[in-house]
């Protein structure tokens, strides 16, 4: 039996998992274009995909932000259809025996910083910056780094006044411990500490040479 979402996207095999849902390969039946389809069970106690899709829409147009093609509900699932992307930096790092060349390191560093800066410029922090959430593009965009998975993202300042939202102490750890910022480990609510997470990634990638 053929499964479809949004009336025009045929659902295929599972290709990954996000913070609050699974990602499947999909195909636009009218054009043959392959897409990524993220599914989240509507019965979850705290469904996040609707919120995540809104953040994606705010970020649309930014370099390295996947294009969102359709969002909605289908049966027992919330659905988001997006641009299909390639392997993650974690996948590539493993493929390269967990060591990148200096040239690769410098090219990645520039793009990773740019992605985080763009998200901050839109008044959000990602809160789960890690190699698994940076994916390469496909085809002509094969050298472009994308950032994905905004299931844990949060607004950190007022859009109109640009006033920062106050710190909150004694918060539980959010994101991935290995790449979390110092403040996160101390139980202080995160503001613009994504760059500390990037430093952890750079150390893993041998971006910092001692």
Predicted TM-score (pTM) above 0.95: no
Please list the ranges in the chain whose pLDDT falls under 50: 170, 173-175, 177-187, 192, 208-210
Q: What confidence tens digit (pLDDT) does each residue in 33-58 have?
A: 999 999 999 998 888 999 999 999 99
Residue 195 · residue 183 · CB < 8 Å: no
Q: Report the mean per-residue pLDDT for the chain.
A: 85
Are 4-83 and 89-204 the same fold in CATH?
Answer: no
Q: 89-204: which CATH number, 3.40.50.1950, 1.10.510.10, 3.30.230.70, 1.20.58.1030?
A: 1.10.510.10
Catalytic residues: 128
Gap between the Cα atoms of 127 and 65, Å rounded: 16
User: What local confidence, expressed as pLDDT, does residue 195 receive?
Assistant: 61
Gap between the Cα atoms of 94 and 5, Å rounded: 33
Gap between the Cα atoms of 205 and 168, Å rounded: 31
Strand partners, 22: 17, 39
Quick one: which of 142, 146, 137, 136 has its CA closest to 60? Answer: 146
Backbone angles phi, psi at 193, to 5 degrees: -105, 20
Gap between the Cα atoms of 18 and 79, Å rounded: 13
Cβ neighbourhood burial of 91 (10 Å; 0-12, 13-18, 19+): middle
Structure tokens at 67: 């294009």
Quick one: which of 35, 88, 85 has its CA closest to 65? Answer: 85
Q: What confidence tens digit (pLDDT) does each residue in 98-129 have?
A: 989 888 988 999 999 999 999 999 999 999 99
Quick one: which of 154, 138, 7, 129 has its CA closest to 79? Answer: 7
Superfamily in which the 4-83 domain is placed by CATH? Phosphorylase Kinase; domain 1 (3.30.200.20)
Report the alpha-carbon angle 101-125-47, nearest 5. Answer: 110
Domain spans of the chain, in order of start: 4-83, 89-204
């Amino acid at each position: 039996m053929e499964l479809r979402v949004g009336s025009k996207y045929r659902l295929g095999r599972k290709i990954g998992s996000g913070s609050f849902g699974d990602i499947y390969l999909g195909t636009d039946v009218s054009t043959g274009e392959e897409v990524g389809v993220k599914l989240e069970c509507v019965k979850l106690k705290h469904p996040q995909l609707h919120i995540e899709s809104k953040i994606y829409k705010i970020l649309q147009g930014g370099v390295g932000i996947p294009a969102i093609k359709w969002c909605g509900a289908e049966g027992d699932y919330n659905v988001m259809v997006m641009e299909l992307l390639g392997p993650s930096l974690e996948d590539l790092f493993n493929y390269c025996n967990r060591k990148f060349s200096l040239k690769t390191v410098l090219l990645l560093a520039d793009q990773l910083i740019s992605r985080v800066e763009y998200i901050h410029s839109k008044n959000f922090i990602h809160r789960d910056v890690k190699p698994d959430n940076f994916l390469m593009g496909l085809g002509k965009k094969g050298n472009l780094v994308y950032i994905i998975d905004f299931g844990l993202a949060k607004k950190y300042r007022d859009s109109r006044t640009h006033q920062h939202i106050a710190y909150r102490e004694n918060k539980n750890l959010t994101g991935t411990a290995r790449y979390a910022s110092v403040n996160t480990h101390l139980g202080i609510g995160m503001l613009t500490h994504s760059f500390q997470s990037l430093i952890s990634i750079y150390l893993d990638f041998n971006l910092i040479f001692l």
